[in-house]
A and B are shown apart, each in its own frame.
Chain A
Amino acid sequence: MGRQVAIVSAGYSEHASKRSDVNMAELVSEAVEDCLKKVPSVGFEDIDAYVNGNMPAFEGSNLPELWMTDWMGARNKPLIRVTTGGTTGGTVAIAGYYTVTAGLPGIDTVLAIAFEQQSQGDTSVGLASVAYGELSVLNTLGMSYEHLTRLLSAGAAIGVASYQATNYMRKSKITEEDLARVVVQNRHNAAKTWWAHLKMPNLTIEEVLDTPYISYPLRYGMVCPASDGACAVLFTTEEKAKDMCDIPVYVNGVASVAHESAVLGYDGSGSGQIDPSEQLGAMRSSELAYSQAGISMPRKEIDYAEVYAPFPNQELMWVEKLGLFEETTAPQMYENGVTGLKGELPICCSGGVNSTNAIGASALERPAEAALQIMGKASNQVPKSVHTAIGHGWGGSLNLCTMLVMADEPQRKWR
């Protein structure tokens, strides 16, 4: 049926809080250039199709891929656009994978591009508009505007993830120091990654705990920034990959299972997710992706993981939900250095979303960085050899999730 897919290159643009020297199209072309620079045998005429995505609410541009056709090199080429909010990058990667594996005649090499220029718009307005339709229903049902303002502003900049934080912290009894430790690890890693946004090589736990609260228990020093940036990943078939790069990275498992929305149900009804930290959708996604890739013991078989965690409590939650560590043991793993650069299972050595968050691009940067680690070409390369890695993303109202499992050997068992 489908063909084996390989990633041969990944490129990034420089991420900053305000890239005022470029517009969106130029930002994307930076990432495309960086991606193609690493595979000198590939030119624009070798790229057969494109996949593009971002979260359109932030820039005030509808369908920006139409405008930036030439900047991507996509003139008279097949192109589709995939957007799903926070998981956009992950769904772009999955769409790139499906475009290659489907085997439409003439389409072997696909360039997947995800980007975001958040400084062009208002981040909180863009994020809040996800619920305007549902909240207006509550207003008709009798809820006053005062109530609705309170609901909209609950959790402040963190939004619905703060509900998830409360539930997770009750289960695992973590302290603020655990959270600060995760942040310090991420920022130190970001300092060695050339494209990351918040580079803080000398950050200490005390400095993180010294900042004021945004929303208990998260402090200003712990949350992710809003960045501008783009990322591009090149997918191709198994045969062509061998000529393009030394170590092709084979995409063995993909899944993006969705669940009911948390906190707010559609049309003003209640939410079906009583415990937002349970994440049945994410657990099912990882189950599907692991079984496709032939992984039965994720803790032992995965060498590197990039999880999508804008907030440190989420990082601790995701590494447990995705099967990497046992429930409630994640904080000790961070304390013992298991997840550090030289540990057994390094997590987010690029600094993760905690240090760089261009919302449309973040979920693509996770599998891109994992792929570069397997190739040995990452900016902050781990010393041990990486054979299997995962890239993960979440989004929506805590109900969307994407998972990609990659390895340096092709996996044919699931077909």
Chain B
Amino acid sequence: MQRVGIVGYNQVKLYSDANYGRYEMIFEAVRGAIDSAGLKKKDITTVISCTNDYYEGRTISNCFTVEVGGGYMADESKVEMDGAHAVLYGLMRILSGNHKLAVIWGGSMASCFPYHSARLYETDPTWERPVAYVNDISSAGFQMRAYLQKYGVNNEDIAKIAVKNRKNASKNPLALEEAKNPNITIKDVLESGIYADPVTELMVAQPCDGVAALLLAPEKQALKITDNPVWITGVGYSQDTYYLGDRDLSGSKSMEVASKMAFNAAGIKDPKSEINVAELFEAYAHEEIIFSEAIGFAEKGKGAELNTEIDGEIPINPSGGAIGGNPPCGTGLIRIIEAAKQLRGEANGYQVKNARKAIASGQIGMCAQNNILFVLEGGN
């Protein structure tokens, strides 16, 4: 696969109730990304956005954002999944040779809509929605329970992940204020209110307000725009079946298929030794362990034994991950930006030493039904 470079990015600081207008936030993200690469509006040839009609409260949500997103008289389209899928579409447009610079932006404001009601609309309208036993809240409980039962892991091991991510988020200046808990302990996590037994409140990635933007360019242009591009060397994406009963919830088949596809494209044989840092979109703390097993960092059931601190054997989510702030439709994009920051050496305060290769993931659907994984490589 030809190399495509990430040449600029910008992320707005995450707030749980931002004092911004919607268009102002989008403009700040996109303009900041273009300025960070030293480019102008007329260099943009294509714009891909990522918003969701039910989260925005309006249909055709890309209709009025054409101007602020930089899409005036540019080839523009909209992906309605996670921000990482929009990066995938932008990547495909660059690989086609038709475009020389792609702007990808995504994110929405969770304070403006009833998040769980909007998520309920994803369920099967005939059988699941009327009773609503299966929804995004209870499915988290189902998955964590399945994982704990199968491998005999206990709640403390899962809570450790939440503690690690919240402590990491306190070093990330752009993370959500409520997620910055530098002095949190396992006991605090286990005793916070029940979200969906056995998941507790502090193990959940809180939906918030935020928008992020990213620039992609083909290899030749990327080397001219910046002397420190981050290359996307592989990508894999896959969608699992919908009904929770048809899947093995203690693992993530879609992440296995996606990571295999991505590692094949990037030529990676042993992820544990070759990857230096991972930024995974974990909507709940237990998903991080399940994903790290599916990617191949650990044996099945042994994911909790990995040392995933910033100075550990395989740092996962040094920026705090999604637990550090989860703007719907933007979190996957932010994960890619954080991984790129690590490879460029710009992650002040939570930098992993000598990061050469990284992975970043995004997901959509209940219990991560559709997963996407990017393999990134530093310029040097």
Contact = CB atoms under 8 A, between A and B. Distances in A.
Interface of A: 1-2, 23, 50, 55-57, 59-63, 65-70, 74-86, 91, 94-95, 98-99, 101-106, 126-127, 129-134, 254-261, 265-267, 280-281, 284, 288, 292, 395-397, 399-400, 414-415
B62 A60 contact: no
A82 B241 contact: no
A106 B263 CA distance: 12
Contact of B66 (A70, A127, A130, A399): A399
Interface stretch (B71-79, B147-155, B187-195, B333-341): B71-79
Nearest to B123: A67
Chain A interface secondary structure, helix, strand, loop or mixed? mixed
Contact of A102 (B76, B95, B124, B254): B95
Interface stretch (B6-14, B51-59, B282-290): B51-59
Nearest to B66: A258
B369 to A, nearest CB: 6
A261 B241 CA distance: 38
Contacts of A85: 59-60, 62-63
Contacts of B2: 1
Contact of A69 (B21, B123, B242): B242
B73 A284 contact: yes
B317 interface: no
Given A82-B89, A106-B264, A69 B76 contact: no
B63 A95 contact: no
Contacts of A78: 236-239, 258, 261
Interface in B80-125: 80-81, 85, 88-89, 91-93, 95-98, 118-119, 121-125
B242 A132 contact: no
B76 A67 contact: no
B13 to A, nearest CB: 22
B96 A257 contact: no
B23 interface: yes
B257 interface: yes
Contacts of A130: 58-60, 63
The 5 lowest CB-CB distance pairs between A and B, nearest first, are: A1-B97, A85-B60, A2-B96, A57-B59, A102-B92
Given A69-B241, A266-B67, A257 B74 contact: yes
27 contacts: A1-B218, A56-B53, A63-B52, A66-B364, A69-B242, A76-B254, A77-B238, A79-B238, A82-B89, A85-B63, A98-B89, A98-B93, A98-B96, A102-B91, A106-B264, A132-B58, A133-B64, A254-B98, A256-B75, A257-B73, A257-B74, A261-B64, A266-B68, A267-B21, A284-B73, A288-B75, A395-B63
B112 to A, nearest CB: 10
B235 interface: yes
B265 interface: yes
A82 B63 contact: no
A74 B239 contact: yes
Interface residues of B, number: 70
B65 interface: yes
Q: Which of B22, B97, B235 has most chain A Cβ within 10 Å?
A: B97
B60 A66 contact: no
A80 B85 contact: yes
A274 to B, nearest CB: 16
B315 interface: no
Nearest to A5: B96
A66 B242 contact: yes
Contacts of A258: 66, 71-76
A60 B125 contact: yes
B273 interface: no
Contact of B89 (A79, A95, A103, A126): A95
B238 A80 contact: no
Given A67-B124, A76-B253, A81-B80, A105 B1 contact: yes
B93 A62 contact: no
Contacts of A129: 57-59
Contact of A79 (B65, B67, B80, B239): B239
A189 to B, nearest CB: 29
Interface string B222-259: 00000000000001111111100000000001100110
A63 B122 contact: yes
B292 interface: no
Contacts of B77: 82, 84, 91, 94-95, 256
Given A62-B121, A74-B239, A281-B73, 12 more contacts: A60-B121, A63-B81, A66-B370, A80-B85, A83-B53, A85-B60, A98-B92, A105-B265, A130-B59, A133-B22, A266-B23, A396-B60
Contacts of A134: 64
Q: Which of A23, A66, A95 has most chain B Cβ within 10 Å?
A: A66
Contacts of A292: 98
Contacts of A131: 58
Contacts of B239: 50, 65-66, 69, 74-79
A55 B74 contact: no
A102 B58 contact: no
B74 A69 contact: no
Nearest to A92: B77
B95 A86 contact: no
A255 B204 CA distance: 41
B126 interface: yes
B102 to A, nearest CB: 11
Nearest to B62: A84
B87 to A, nearest CB: 11
Contacts of A98: 89, 92-93, 96
Q: Which of B63, B75, B257, B365 has most chain A Cβ within 10 Å?
A: B63
A127 B85 CA distance: 26
A48 B222 CA distance: 30
A129 to B, nearest CB: 5
A133 to B, nearest CB: 5
Contacts of A57: 53, 59
A296 to B, nearest CB: 19
Contact of A62 (B71, B118, B369): B118
Contacts of A83: 53, 78, 80
Contacts of B74: 257-258
B265 A260 contact: no
